[in-house]
Amino acid sequence: MDNNMGVEGLRLLITGASAGIGEGTARLAAQRGASVLLADLNDEQGERLAEDINAAGGTAVYQHCDVSNEDDLEAVMEVAKSRFGGLDVLHNNAGIHESALSDKLTLDTMSRDVFEKIISVNLTGAWLCAKYALPLLRESDNASIINAGSTSSFTGYPQCLAYGASKGGIMQLTKMLAVDLAPDGIRVNCYCPGSIHTQMVDNFLKAAPDPKAMLNTMTMTHLVPRMGQPVDVAELVCFLASPESSFVNGAVWAIDGGSLAWRGTLDILGMEPQA
Ligand SMILES: NC(=O)c1ccc[n+]([C@@H]2O[C@H](COP(=O)([O-])OP(=O)(O)OC[C@H]3O[C@@H](n4cnc5c(N)ncnc54)[C@H](O)[C@@H]3O)[C@@H](O)[C@H]2O)c1
């Protein structure tokens, strides 16, 4: 096993673990010796992932969970106790984008239900997970919460009204929780990915009026001229989870190929995005 990043022996709860960045993090952390509790709505994919990880010699348990449902969260924490004896790291990764729910994405067309659903999963869900995980995190001597922000925590995008509002909120929730939980020795950090190739991005592109133009908008700002991959983010999550990052707290960490570092697109530099 490769133990470079120091997650060996840690117990991670990863929400939204069945696909994308959550799946990538589960695979990498398990490879490095962490026990991973996979929580998601997609039971089929989640069960399969747990089987895969266990077959490869890792330790994974899948548990159905909607992060906005308190009964589900209670059940997940029971599983963390019974199967892993507790929890060290909460990876608040579950998230949805409004384009998965509706094609009415402008202020005049979006329904209140859609707006509130996004906030309830992406923002309230993360807050609830932290609340339910707290008693277990308090028992850990390497406790942290790692929240999924976005470049839309900082900047505007078309067709991202609810999503962007939720991600701005997550960035601030991170700082408030870092303060609140400092006396408990629980660190709280947030990472903000650029465009990472997952089903969320594929669906978002499909819903765009001009998918090619939207893809350009998303990748032409990456100074590293490609889409990110889930493993790129997983590497950062493993670092933030590990004791090596013990002095990192309340941080908002861009993992965006450099897109927040400037105001331009690659063509100005005579560059093009690579596949
Ligand atoms: N992919 C990107 O480019 C990107 C960029 C910035 C931020 N993010 C954030 O990273 C996180 C993961 O994104 P992704 O691209 O891997 O998404 P994804 O759609 O590929 O996977 C998300 C997973 O979350 C699960 N999920 C959805 N609602 C849930 C709920 N209520 N409870 C539990 N699980 C739920 C889904 O079933 C799915 O398995 C999200 O918070 C997203 O906002 C992604």
> How far does residue 148's CA lie from ligand 1's centre (Å)?
9
Q: Model's pTM, two decimal places?
A: 0.97
Angle at 79 between CA 40 and CA 200, to 5 degrees: 10
Kindly state the helix (H) or strand (E) to which residue 11 belongs, with its residue range.
strand 11-15
Q: CA 220 to CA 102: how far, in whole Å?
A: 26
Q: Is residue 148 lining ligand 1, measured as CB closer than 6 Å?
A: yes
> How far does residue 86's CA lie from ligand 1's centre (Å)?
24
- Provide block-wise average pLDDT over 10 residues at a time, the chain (275 residues): 72 98 98 98 98 98 98 98 98 97 96 98 99 98 98 94 98 98 98 96 88 86 96 98 98 97 93 87
Scan for tokens 């609830």, then name that residue.
128
The preferred substitution site among 73, 198, 201 for testing ligand 1, maximizing ligand atoms within 8 Å of CB, is 198
Structure confidence by residue, pLDDT tens digits, 2-42: 444 599 999 999 999 999 999 999 999 999 999 999 999 99
Which two three-digit tokens encode residue 93? 């990764």
Dihedral sign for Cα 107, 111, 114, 116, please: positive
Domain borders along the chain are: 11-258
Fold for the domain defined by 11-258: Rossmann fold (3.40.50)
Of the candidates 46, 44, 28, 26, the residue with the CA atom closest to the CA atom of residue 36 = 26
Q: CA 240 to CA 234: how far, in whole Å?
A: 10
> How far does residue 201's CA lie from ligand 1's centre (Å)?
10
157: annotated active-site residue? no
Q: Is residue 130 lining ligand 1, measured as CB closer than 6 Å?
A: no
* Beta pairing, strands 11-15 & 89-92: parallel
Q: Is residue 68 lining ligand 1, measured as CB closer than 6 Å?
A: yes
Structure confidence by residue, pLDDT tens digits, 142-162: 999 999 999 999 999 889 999
